[in-house]
Chain A
Amino acid sequence: KQEVTQIPAALSVPEGENLVLNCSFTDSAIYNLQWFRQDPGKGLTSLLLIQSSQREQTSGRLNASLDKSSGRSTLYIAASQPGDSATYLCAVGDRGSTLGRLYFGRGTQLTVWP
């Protein structure tokens, strides 16, 4: 069974810092990997989707990388802002199981203070 781990569990930084959030997974036979943002009491917002054949994706200040062989992904946030405060979830799409099934990590709770 796929297990997804996110480190750190929580992160508190001043505005302007560049951040790295880490995600690891146990089974490298993945279909894709996604990073989501979740605000308190809200649903999920998809940030970046990396297919298994890709190594990275970029959107604005966000960059996600994927190293499938080592079972790792990182989400890089440049020049963090207070509006970036949220929980960031990593999810792995499992190639071998039910169509579209995602395995989630517990998330990294990010606080960016002014």
Chain B
Amino acid sequence: GAVVSQHPSWVICKSGTSVKIECRSLDFQATTMFWYRQFPKQSLMLMATSNEGSKATYEQGVEKDKFLINHASLTLSTLTVTSAHPEDSSFYICSAGLAGALGTQYFGPGTRLLVL
């Protein structure tokens, strides 16, 4: 089956630093990748949608200059949280859309970010 990995699985950083999270589709080419954020006991909220080779589309209220998304290839997307603050502490999950299978997304295992 389609597998999506994320790295790192958890990260602790100091306030003001930047953190990069990678999302990879291991055995398929993903035309579209999605980044979600989940706060404790809350649902997944879509942050942005990225297509390979083009700029990401951000959801309303998500700062594109703070959450930098790069989708350099059909198997890799990265999310960089710039100048992280404690309120950015959350669980970040990516998913990859399988080309030709509209509506099907495969989710990564998530990255737990804690900003001190």
Q: Which residues of A contact B (CB under 8 A)?
A: 4, 31-32, 36, 41-46, 49, 51, 89, 91, 93, 98-107
Contact = CB atoms under 8 A, between A and B. Distances in A.
A41 B112 CA distance: 8
B3 to A, nearest CB: 11
A99 B107 contact: no
| Most A-side CB within 10 Å, residue of B57, B103, B107, B109 | B103
A51 B104 CA distance: 10
Interface string B101-113: 0111111111010
Contacts, number: 59
A44 B96 CA distance: 12
B43 A99 contact: no
B102 A102 contact: no
Give the size range of B's interface with the partner: 20 to 34
B43 A101 contact: no
Contacts of A51: 103
B42 A106 contact: yes
Contacts of A43: 6, 93, 107-110
A76 to B, nearest CB: 22
A98 B57 contact: yes
Contacts of B6: 43
Nearest to A102: B105
Interface in B1-16: 6
A99 B112 contact: no
B103 A32 contact: yes
9 contacts: A41-B91, A42-B109, A44-B44, A44-B93, A46-B106, A99-B102, A101-B46, A102-B105, A104-B44
Contacts of B97: 99-100
